[in-house]
Structure 1
């Protein structure tokens, strides 16, 4: 039976019911309309949404019990005047009644409410027009005792019209959910088939859901973070502590003090990580079934991706962060610190230094070396980020206590590198105090790496103070201006030696190395002083210079040093 006629005064119950009633204006908004790019755009229809519908709003609804339960989903609407409606319900139904069958016996009223609450009904709506003009006090007390939603309508409402409208919304929502499920399935299938990187998969999950999504490993390190517009700092700050407070449920569901949606990432029954969907920027947790669907499809796509990508994802995450630090792509120092600490690298109160390893040509895969260095440096008390960086280098960011000297750490690193890569060059930047200065330390280490002359003996690693004239010229070996300078200064002498089989270039080198002391130079060249003088005169004629001039000797010495580094195997061809 549905209320359909008559009018009634606005008598919505006793004084107690009026004081506890929730005005409709405080109810949450209706579900978002289709078209938003989010898994939550068709949220389940809840009681607050139903009460805002014009067809029910016309009855001036007033909530007198269960004001905190307006987020209950409404899965169906049931009109009944039976005393035992619960026997026909399955849960989630909104029960509409005119109150005609309600008994006077308080125990029967309490049983009526208890059965509705026990079966999980969404709420009870009673029209105060036909039998009642104020809410039955026993009914209100029974609903309040169970915190069960009781809604009073002080004006006539066509219940049939209510069911038609709500049922159409529910069915439409289910159809939309099916379409969305297909869209999500198609999206992740496409990502999997084209071999998308795991970062892209997690980023797509964040985009589809409208919530930050984080993939972590078994030791609670945040390996990949899809943070949307919130930025990684707000998502990852204090990550390990917050993550450890969030238990892993047996199935995808909300968990922990922050209401994170959690699902396991497994392969052949073995868990190797978990995905976590955090509350959005407004603080709303991910609670809809579509959020769970997105998270589970992401887990499946990541499991497949793990089988096809050989680099450990922890290593990939370190490389990404190191590259972002080097290229200054982090939004703030706080974000950089949060990301580093989420990967298990404490940086607060630590000193930092960048080390570059140049494996040399044909070095091949370096993952094994990177893993070994991480373990060895960790055993020595240093935290480390390792990853490939521009310039064909392996970048190493060391974080160590201020009381710990960095040189023994770098020497240990160099020994470990050279055990498997004897030709590798290890270069060091300057020590810095903050992640924001990492780029400067990297730039210095890169300059040192460029200047490190191959074959330098007894040097486990190179630093800025090692850059002398020879190293500087080696760093500039690709500069055409340097090559032209060498050619202008020495080209004729080199040509003469090649045509006549002489050694005038070596004589000049011996003379300049002896700082212009002809006697010492002649002895080093195993020549008589007269023969040595004759060769020096020949050099002066060929080059048109005066070897007694300190300035000209300096010019020639620089040219000879440059000539020698240009002839090294890693440098360009020597001038002809």
Structure 2
């Protein structure tokens, strides 16, 4: 599949039978993508690179400096070469031009007798179009071969072999877990040298890097490299088609793995109910392929915010794959479990405990920022050290999930350990007891707001949240300090001047949080 056209190929055409290479013979391997007749010196944005320029020299025949500047600009724009017809406008090319071209490996081709540029352009453009058509044909044939391989056993190895056999270049496949596959295979020292070469040449035309993404997440990378042949458009297209095939194969494997994990649901349910011993759990995790020592675990619960908006359980496999792709790089081994009303993920911590909470928060933030996921309530239970005590984490995760669904977005943390006062509120089973407590401490403010259409209760909640800081409270409410002073005075009149004293303040703050939790008006 070597369909690229070089200056060497051009010089073999009949229209160049009388042409002479005056300078830059080292650059005859330059690619040619188009042919352009140019009789101006101001190039500007007229060229894209890899053009063969035909000229009579009319624009710079009397000015050697302009000629030199023109050639240097062609070199800078990565033009393939310059063909000049001598005799009509220009009798010879100055030596300084030839020396410059030779230095930069920029081919200068001379026609010492009159030629028809229209014949040259027609011949080369026809040749280029034919090559382009052949490239499309080869690419289609390659794609069909990929589709057949995807239906066969061990598709990944066969796909990489097909690509190598098609281009006769080194193929490198790097999985997200840093597993490197080379086709053809190399020994360890050769592999190390190759990877160094790829890093050094990644900005040049000797390396093509194609990321492999599954569900918008990078999972692997496909690399083509050659130390003696530059890459062409065909190589880029082949790498792109191969990457797509590998992504499909990875996605199929992931769905198959998720299906297999779904069969573990019965065992998982028993685990969440605390019916398995630690040694049984450790043995089962080893069977599943978990590597490394764990540092405890927690339960992560996910529930749809709006089930009536076209979101159904058919999206569960997709959500599972995305959650896995987010949390595994953060140091967690993930075990999913599907219930009728929500998804459960067991997060087994494989890294140090100190960074556990920060990594969990980072994962939840990435999940919330993923626009392709439906709107979700997310909650994480207590981290437990013994895997046999996972039922405690599960129960607290359900508790945290209930708090999430009760409060407005952003009002509470998704981590049970960070709920603090809401943990107490959620434990009170008698709703009337909570309502009575709220009335005992907040009734004057609630009644005042209802009668006067004011927002003193909101001011009280923000004031408590800001720890009694008047400056911060005024900023949060977007009001001037004097307005806040007036509202605080009203609160003192309604609740008593001691409402910010330690004991009473805690009760008032508890009542304000319970008011939000019960979604009271």
Q: TM-score range by the shorter chain?
A: 0.3 to 0.5
Larger Rg: 1
Richer in helix (by share)? 2
Give the alignment's TM-score, normalised by structure 1.
0.40
Give the alignment's TM-score, normalised by structure 2.
0.44
